[in-house]
Amino acid sequence: MDSTEVTDHELLDAASRLLMASLRQSRDLNIEIRQALQRREQAEHPQPADRSNTTTFQILRDVVGGT
């Protein structure tokens, strides 16, 4: 193996490492974006903790209130 092949091999290894690092950063950024979008959606459309209790209390309120 001559010095040119070693240099090419080293360059390929370095390029591979940089590509993998870039892909990891991209994945991490995509995860952060997805989590931010989920938080925004939850803030825009909050879900009650227990809908059955809310419905039951509303029915009782209506019965007691005579409506």
- From residue 45, give the alpha-carbon distance in Å to each of 34, 40, 52, 66: 16, 9, 18, 31
Q: What is the pLDDT of residue 52?
A: 60
Q: How is residue 66 annotated by DSSP?
A: T
* Domain total of the chain: 1
Tokens 């979008």 sit on residue:
37
What pLDDT does residue 51 have? 58
**What's the average model confidence in pLDDT over 7-18?**
94
48: domain range?
A: 3-65
pTM over 0.75? The answer is: no
Q: Phi-psi category of 10—alpha, beta or left, where left has phi over 0 and alpha has psi -120 to 50?
A: alpha
Please give the DSSP secondary-structure letter assigned to residue 45: S
> Could you report the per-residue pLDDT of 13-66, keeping only the tens digit for each?
999 999 999 999 999 999 999 999 999 998 888 776 655 666 777 777 778 886
Which pLDDT does position 27 carry in this prediction? 95
